[in-house]
Amino acid sequence: MEKTRIRVRKYAKLKAPIMIVGLPGIGSVGKMVAEHLIKELNAERIATLYSPHFPYQVIMLRHGGIRLMSNRFYVIRRSGRKEDIVILTGDTQAITPEGQYEVNHEIVRFFKEKLGGKFIYTLGGYSAPGSNPSNPKVYANATSAAVVAGLKDSGLVFGESRGTILGSAGMILGFAKMEHVDGICLMGESSFLDVDPYAAKAVLVFLSGRLGLNIDTKNLDKMIQKTAEALKELERQAPAEFPMPGKGDDKPPSYIR
């Protein structure tokens, strides 16, 4: 395998879909939210992305199977709403700079050209100096001034995050802008925990409201806490998070989890 490839199980005819991207990163914020949504909303897998820029190893499954590392596209069909939802999650991000450019551009092209996608939410964490983990803000950066203006009263914090967004959460947004698809990166204020359910909850609450998702808010704290424990357990068993490739990491003035 020399190029990133996406295997489609079946081509879903989707209504003007938006995509939620939650891939591994420090804090596991995006992945935790994506996996929570997939489970809660019974999302259906429609495609799998493989790449030679992923780690060169296979994952051992519980009952004696194996699988290649992958990113996976899920779908939630919605009645009574004008947009369906695509969720992207997976085992890893690309582990080289060139791989990040290839894989993330491929994801945007697939979403736009094959699924007819209209808007992208990428999820991550943001570490602000003196942040308060128990009541985290959601920082945001978007592809256009129009998106920022349209979310003026949403409670999102625009224009206070500084520096760069590393990896898929940033690059997918950059390629969305290049391909004229609007999008936004939602960053839960995070306090350097390996797994940060507080930041994940803040992002999930915003997304649920924004998309009219019927998720029981009362149970959220318990669920996220359980997810957090499960992820910690998983971490001992499987490589839930991969280190990002080297350059530019040395002294980041702030960073995405």
Reduced to 3 states, what is the DSSP secondary structure of residue 6?
A: strand
Nearer to a second copy, 56 or 79 (CB): 56
Both tokens of residue 77? 């069909």
Of 174, 194, 205, 210, which lies in the binding site for a second copy, with binding defined by CB under 8 A? 174
Shortest CB 151 distance to a second copy, Å = 9
253 lies in the binding site for a second copy (CB under 8 A): yes
Adjacent-strand bridge partners of 138: 188
243 lies in the binding site for a second copy (CB under 8 A): yes
131 lies in the binding site for a second copy (CB under 8 A): no
Nearer to a second copy, 26 or 223 (CB): 26
Both tokens of residue 225? 């806490």
Of 138, 142, 186, 207, which lies in the binding site for a second copy, with binding defined by CB under 8 A? 142
Nearer to a second copy, 151 or 211 (CB): 151
Nearer to a second copy, 177 or 210 (CB): 177
Gap between the Cα atoms of 239 and 2, Å rounded: 23
DSSP character at residue 52:
T
144 lies in the binding site for a second copy (CB under 8 A): yes
Gap between the Cα atoms of 195 and 216, Å rounded: 22
DSSP character at residue 83:
-
Gap between the Cα atoms of 5 and 38, Å rounded: 23
The continuous run of DSSP H or E covering 123 comes out as strand 119-126
102 lies in the binding site for a second copy (CB under 8 A): yes
Residue list 42-81, contact with a second copy (CB under 8 A): 50, 52-68
Of 178, 222, 226, 232, which lies in the binding site for a second copy, with binding defined by CB under 8 A? 178
173 lies in the binding site for a second copy (CB under 8 A): yes
248 lies in the binding site for a second copy (CB under 8 A): yes
| Angle, CA 244 vertex, CA 239 and CA 247 arms, to 5° | 155
> 129: how many CB neighbours lie within 10 A of its CB?
5
Shortest CB 11 distance to a second copy, Å = 20
Of 105, 112, 118, 201, which lies in the binding site for a second copy, with binding defined by CB under 8 A? 105
# binding residues, a second copy (CB under 8 A): 68
Of 23, 37, 85, 166, which lies in the binding site for a second copy, with binding defined by CB under 8 A? 166
* 97-109 helix and 168-178 helix, angle to the nearest 10 degrees: 50
> 99: how many CB neighbours lie within 10 A of its CB?
17
- Name every residue whose Cβ is closer than 8 Å to that of residue 226 and which is 6 or more positions away in sequence: none
Start-to-end Cα distance in the chain: 30
Gap between the Cα atoms of 95 and 75, Å rounded: 26
Of 71, 127, 141, 227, which lies in the binding site for a second copy, with binding defined by CB under 8 A? 141
Which residues of this chain interact with a second copy, rule CB under 8 A?
Answer: 1-2, 50, 52-68, 94-102, 104-105, 140-145, 148, 158-159, 161-167, 170-171, 173-175, 177-178, 185, 236-239, 242-245, 247-248, 250, 252-253
